[in-house]
Amino acid sequence: MSMKYSGIGASAGIAIYPVYKLIEVDLTIEQQSITDVKNEVARLENAIKTTSKELQTIREQTAISMDEEHAMIFDAHIQIAQDPEIMRQVQEKIEEEHVNAEYAYDHVCQMFIAMFEGMDNEYFQERALDVKDVRRRVIAHLLDVPLNDPSLINEKVIVVAHDLTPSDTAQLNKTYVKGFITNIGGRTSHSAIMARSLEIPAIVGTKHITDEVNDGDLVILDGLTGTVIIRPTDVEIEEYRAKQEHYEKQVAIWSKFVNKPSVSKDGKHVEIAANIGSPDDLDAVKKYGAEGVGLYRTEFLYMNNDNFPTEMEQYKAYKAVLEALPNKKVIIRTLDIGGDKHLDYLPMDAELNPFLGHRALRLCLERTDIFKTQLRALLRASIHGDLHIMFPMVATLNEVRQAKAVLETCKAELHAEGIACKDDVKVGIMVEIPAVAILADQFAKEVDFFSIGTNDLIQYSFAADRMNQKVSYLYQPYNPSLLRLIKMVIDASHEAGIWTGMCGEMAGDKLAAPILLGLGLDEFSMSATSILQTRYIFSELTYSEMKAMAETCLTLDSHESVQEFVEKTIKGESK
């Protein structure tokens, strides 16, 4: 029997290969009394010499297999390995306490690790990882234990590990390592970023995958969905081989669209931007050549924190994104918390219907202290690029006016304090509540742009909780009722001389995107990995074809009939 397992898809692609488990070797250290101090110091020096040599080799390999930037990680490792302060302290400990070298070395490293981990700064916390990595190597050499070395892999495998250290990841040889799966990590963890730059599929955050597989077990790794199938059946293997072949063909086609403008077959230009959750996602934005950021979800700044991020912390994050994308539009959404997203440090009342409750802008308008900190940080960052501020979960005109008033207050405060900010920062709203879509003509007079948030707009339009499996069939992005609602919003915005974008799943959906373009949507924002595919889809159809298709869709009677119609039309046109 096969077994399905799921994690976070960290790098796209499909791989079907046997498992190679990278198991932590036992590096248990015992304290021993020694008499020959000289010999212990010599052992230490030897281990450090060997480690440095080894790191130098890995550094050179990495420069070839990846690039100079990744290779530089190992310069830092070499520096740590050869650090005179560590050496001095270890030597002192050996001499004064007559303990064995591994015990003394471990003790000193642990002290530095604890020190770095205790610093309230991500950079230093990463240095703790570097020290751990170096420590592991030196200790292994002292104990004469061979490290489980991924560079020794010489057949095609999928590496399964609890976690991958930077030196593990760097040693993964793309010829043999066809993917990896780890217990821990998220989309922006070090190993996930490395997997994307190596372009091998990867899944992280599976929690217990190492307990579920044995060396040599065949697994299917689907980095697109985060699915792992352990010991798949022949039918599953066949199914995924087909998927893999299809995906690889597509990737080859899509790759031609990197850094290309997004245009229809007949030259109509649209804007395709990326959704991001942190400055770490910028690599992908640049890699695919997005035409801006259509949605920066600032809640992650709050969720990855144990207290409200300060104005300075927020300013730095916003500035990083704005500076990284000069001359490109960056839409930053104010705090969208509540519903399914909570902050440990912000107690909220239990609500019967949290998605219909006290969340996002509603909460910000009540807690103006939180709101103002964010708006001030945004305004301060505005001088570094083309910032657009967007308010989520607007239901009434009054809310928009209140939010704008708070923004104006912040501007006035900053002026009074002599802090620079732009006067004409563009302000927009998310259209995700049907009441706003219907009154879009009035809202258009108040703001500079709209961005349709489809996940919520769909759940509110169909009165169906998107977390509830039993009503998941009511998630109907192609339903003509929703398409008509979207058309109303787009038309109203154009009437008022402003533009409408979309930053939901739907914008990057291969069937929905051409309909939306046909309806006149001005901007599409999606996860960076969907950008090339969408550019490709647009390039295969003319604007008039998409317009005609969209018009027909508005007259159909159901989600299914739209889906069927679009599938047929697109196939007909692109062949």
Partner 1 sequence: MIKRFTIVDEAGLHARPASLLVQKAATYPNDIFIEFNGKRLTLKSIMAVMSLGVPQNSVIAIDVEGENDADIMAALEKVLVDNNLI
Which positions touch partner 1 (CB under 8 A)? Answer: 75-76, 79-80, 83-86, 88, 112, 115-116, 119, 121, 123-124, 127, 131, 316
- Find the catalytic residue in 98, 107, 190, 494: 190
Min dist. Cβ of residue 79 to partner 1 (A): 5
- Does residue 380 sit in helix, strand or coil? helix
Min dist. Cβ of residue 57 to partner 1 (A): 20
Query: Rounded to 5 degrees, what are φ and ψ at 425?
Result: -65, 130
When computed from its CA atoms, the radius of gyration of the chain, rounded to whole angstroms, is 27
301 in Cβ contact with 317 (< 8 Å) = yes
Q: Which is nearer to partner 1, 135 or 178 (CB)?
A: 135
303 in Cβ contact with 321 (< 8 Å) = no
Min dist. Cβ of residue 123 to partner 1 (A): 6
How far is it, in rounded angstroms, from Cα 202 to Cα 223? 5
As given in the structure block, the two tokens for residue 471 are: 């009503």
Determine the distance from the C-alpha atom of residue 234 to the mean position of all C-alpha atoms in its chain, rounded to a whole number: 33
Q: Which is nearer to partner 1, 125 or 544 (CB)?
A: 125
Q: Which is nearer to partner 1, 112 or 240 (CB)?
A: 112
Q: Which is nearer to partner 1, 88 or 401 (CB)?
A: 88
Is residue 190 flagged as an active site residue? yes
Min dist. Cβ of residue 164 to partner 1 (A): 22
CA-closest candidate to residue 220, choices 529, 4, 63:
4
Determine the distance from the C-alpha atom of residue 344 to the mean position of all C-alpha atoms in its chain, rounded to a whole number: 21
558 in Cβ contact with 488 (< 8 Å) = no
Is residue 109 flagged as an active site residue? no
Min dist. Cβ of residue 315 to partner 1 (A): 10
Q: Which is nearer to partner 1, 130 or 386 (CB)?
A: 130
Q: Which stretches of 144-254 are DSSP H helices?
A: 166-171, 190-198, 209-212, 234-254
Min dist. Cβ of residue 516 to partner 1 (A): 42
As given in the structure block, the two tokens for residue 235 are: 């039918």
Q: Which stretches of 118-172 are DSSP H helices?
A: 122-143, 166-171
CA-closest candidate to residue 455, choices 365, 540, 525, 381:
525
- Find the catalytic residue in 109, 364, 410, 503: 503
Q: Which is nearer to partner 1, 115 or 145 (CB)?
A: 115
- Does residue 335 sit in helix, strand or coil? coil
230 in Cβ contact with 204 (< 8 Å) = no
Which residues are the active-site residues? 190, 503
